[in-house]
A and B are shown apart, each in its own frame.
Chain A
Amino acid sequence: MRKSAFLLPAIAVVLVSALSSVFIVDEREKALVLQFGQIVKVQEEPGLGFKLPFIQEVVRYDDRILSRDLMPLEVTPSDDRRLVVDAFARYRIADVVRFREAVGSGGEEAAARRLDSILRAETREVLGSVTSNDILSTDRAALMLRIRNSAITEARALGLEVIDVRLKRTDLPPENLNATYERMKAEREREAADERARGNEAAQRIRAQADRTVVELVSEAERESQIIQGEADAQRNQIFAQAFGRDPEFFEFYRSMTAYQRSLRPGNSTMVLSPDNEFFNYLKSDQGQAASQ
């Protein structure tokens, strides 16, 4: 019993020492072995690592691509119009030793804060050197690349590798937003008024064309009608001339007879006649007036 009572803690101590002298580095991590705060070993490859138990400690850092979103930031491009910009960065802890030396025990959070200020400064500088039209254009990708490239050098001092910097928002500040809305509204109103005016213009043109067509059609018809009537009158005259020309003297007599018949109507005429009239030739004598005289 005494033996086993002694053995038990001994084995426990050995086991604990053995376990504390190995450590596992995950695929997602890099590890530093520190001895009283001093870096003695860097383990970047995943797998099993060894250290002295109790006096050395392991610090692990993320080996994946980390992200950092920048708070919205107001920049003034060279044409003095302000834009609200926010960006995000993708970066990775490339050099753990330098990272540890630069950041100390603050770790990734402290590094992210320092990266923030680097990115803010670079974004301001790069976007401040161009006009706002350049930012709102196809140059944007090139600008992002410029921000990235200058951030890379700055961040290298922190042991960070900046992989990508991208702009998200490039918007007008809220106080300019309303002005923009008003401008958009005014543009739309102009467009609407234009549409209406064009509609009225077209309608008026259509009506005018229709009215003109009406006048053309009617007057053409009237012209045709006059021509036809003229032809008809000519034909009539021709017919009459042909017929009456055969004996003009008789025509005169005949036509006079017809005219008397038509013009002297019962009721509207009173005639004062002398008995000497030819019609009364036989009124006084059967020999006729000429004969009686």
Chain B
Amino acid sequence: MSGNSGGPWGGGGNNGSGGGNDDNRGNGGRRPNNDGPNIPEIDDLVNKGREQLRVLMGGGGQGRSGGSGGGGEGPKFTRGTVGLGLLAALVLWLFASFYTVRPEERSVELLLGDFLEVGDPGLNFAPWPVVTREVLAVTTERNIDIGTSRSGLEAGLMLTGDENIVDIDFQVVWNISNPEEYLFNLANPPATIEAVAESAMREIISQSELAPILNRDRGAIADRLSDLIQSTLDSYDSGVNLIRVNFDKADPPEPVIASFRAVQDAEQERDRVQNVADAYANQVVAEARGEAAQILEQAEGYRARVVNEATGEASRFLAVLNEYQQAPEVTRKRLYLETMEGVLGGVEIILLDEGNGEGQGVVPYLPLNELRRNTTGGTN
């Protein structure tokens, strides 16, 4: 019977405690998306009030009739069960009113819809239903990806100042710097951040030329982008802190990327051709240096040979001359005879006595070759 009397309370209690903290926290997270969070709350309040009233009336009536000496409704509602019920209600109310805030979170408390305070990590007290609270993860980093890989072809293609098209992917990493502003100033902060980031990127890209975007200006663009996004968000008092911008991709668009690669190939080709030519030059010049050295060495060799030969020949002549001057007649004769001996010793000689004038005319017409054949034939 106490179970019976606890029945309605138990039901009400479950609303408060079973759903309890988690349910409320969940509500807190979801609340910014709901446009009219207060209407169900009031309904809730009214329903709960009615329920409470009904039970109190029943309990009080029974208590009185019980006190007056046993009632027709039976012994259901005793003073003890009422006390127990009130105690349970108190516990449930405490459950509903205390909540924890984790280190990465902050809570925002509202007194009847009016901003009251920001709750720090730890145990916090927000007396239900007068004070409501919303818990936000503030230090957690959140990402928004912008570009082709995420939202199809259109979003990442941007027109540059020199009317080229560049394909850009980037990521915005942010967290909440001011939970109060974050909750109350912007209707849809993530969508706003995305729109602002895309707008800022397109603004920067439209003021730049293609070539610097593709290579050297990426760091500078990321810096400018961060500044621009943050200042725009600050102008909305959004309570959002931009941690960083990750520049994932800045490429030429798909249809022309092959041409860009072809340019890189051509650059490589240029280097290659130059290197081949350098190799040729090195080889040929080295060979030429070798050849030049060879020519010079040969010339030096020639000089040495000629001079040495001349010196040797001169010395020999001088030696002979010296000897000749000692005894000119004899030496001269001796040299002549020795030479003739050497010369005539090897040479074939035909000795022809011209006689005394008669046969003189014969010599010029003498068929020497015939003569030679005859002599050899004769010996045979």
Q: CB within 8 Å of B: which residues of A?
A: 4, 7-8, 11-12, 15-16, 19, 23-29, 45-48, 60, 62-67, 69, 88, 90, 135-138, 140-141, 163-164, 166-172, 177-178, 180-181, 184-185, 188-189, 191-196, 198-200, 202-204, 206-207, 209-211, 213-215, 217-218, 220-222, 224-229, 231-233, 235-237, 239-240, 242-244, 246-247, 250-251, 253-254, 257, 260-261, 264-267, 269-276, 279-280
A254 touches B335 (CB 8 A): yes
* Given A4-B61, A181-B255, A195-B270, residue A19 in contact with residue B49 (CB < 8 A): yes
A217 touches B113 (CB 8 A): no
Does B293 sit at the interface, judged by CB under 8 A?
Answer: yes
Q: CB within 8 Å of A: which residues of B?
A: 32, 35-38, 41-42, 45-46, 49-50, 53-54, 57, 61, 110-115, 154, 157-161, 163-165, 183-188, 191-192, 195-196, 198-199, 202-203, 206-207, 232, 235-236, 238, 252-253, 255-256, 259-260, 262-263, 265-267, 269-274, 276-278, 280-282, 284-285, 287-289, 291-296, 298-300, 302-304, 306-307, 309-311, 313-315, 317-318, 320-321, 324-325, 332, 335-337, 339-340, 342-354, 363, 366, 368, 372
Q: A67-B186, A184-B165, A202-B274 are in contact. List 6 more A-B contacts (CB 8 A).
A: A46-B112, A60-B35, A164-B236, A221-B296, A243-B314, A251-B317
Question: Across the two chains, which residue of chain A brings its CB closest to B237?
Answer: A65
Write out the residue numbers on chain B whose beta carbons fall within 8 Å of the beta carbon of A202.
Answer: 270, 273-274, 277
Distance in Å: Cβ of B330 to nearest Cβ of chain A: 14
B343 touches A243 (CB 8 A): no
Write out the residue numbers on chain A whose beta carbons fall within 8 Å of the beta carbon of B276.
Answer: 203
Write out the residue numbers on chain B whose beta carbons fall within 8 Å of the beta carbon of A194.
Answer: 266
A180 touches B165 (CB 8 A): yes
Write out the residue numbers on chain B whose beta carbons fall within 8 Å of the beta carbon of A254.
Answer: 317, 320-321, 335
Distance in Å: Cβ of A67 to nearest Cβ of chain B: 6
Which of A16, A48, A206 has its CB near the most chain B CB atoms (within 10 A)?
A206
B277 touches A275 (CB 8 A): no
B348 touches A199 (CB 8 A): no
A257 touches B206 (CB 8 A): no
Distance in Å: Cβ of B307 to nearest Cβ of chain A: 5
Distance in Å: Cβ of A216 to nearest Cβ of chain B: 8
Interchain CB contact (< 8 A) of A279 among B49, B198, B340: B340
Write out the residue numbers on chain B whose beta carbons fall within 8 Å of the beta carbon of A172.
Answer: 159, 163, 165
A272 touches B352 (CB 8 A): yes
Write out the residue numbers on chain B whose beta carbons fall within 8 Å of the beta carbon of A46.
Answer: 110, 112-115
Please count the residue pairs between chain A and chain B whose beta carbons lie under 8 angstroms apart in the complex: 350
Interchain CB contact (< 8 A) of B112 among A24, A195, A267: A24
Write out the residue numbers on chain A whose beta carbons fall within 8 Å of the beta carbon of B354.
Answer: 274, 276
A12 to B45, CA, bound (A): 13
Write out the residue numbers on chain B whose beta carbons fall within 8 Å of the beta carbon of A210.
Answer: 277, 280-282, 284-285
Write out the residue numbers on chain A whose beta carbons fall within 8 Å of the beta carbon of B372.
Answer: 270
Question: Across the two chains, which residue of chain A brings its CB closest to B282?
Answer: A210
Distance in Å: Cβ of A161 to nearest Cβ of chain B: 12
A191 to B45, CA, bound (A): 74
A24 touches B41 (CB 8 A): yes
Distance in Å: Cβ of B102 to nearest Cβ of chain A: 23
A266 touches B252 (CB 8 A): no
A257 touches B335 (CB 8 A): yes
A207 to B181, CA, bound (A): 72
A275 touches B207 (CB 8 A): no
Write out the residue numbers on chain B whose beta carbons fall within 8 Å of the beta carbon of A228.
Answer: 296, 299-300, 302-303
17 residue pairs of the A-B complex, CB under 8 angstroms, read: A11-B53, A15-B49, A163-B235, A167-B199, A180-B165, A195-B266, A199-B270, A217-B289, A232-B306, A236-B307, A251-B317, A260-B340, A270-B350, A272-B366, A274-B354, A275-B353, A276-B354
B285 touches A214 (CB 8 A): yes
Distance in Å: Cβ of B114 to nearest Cβ of chain A: 4
B348 touches A184 (CB 8 A): no
B281 touches A4 (CB 8 A): no
A271 touches B349 (CB 8 A): yes
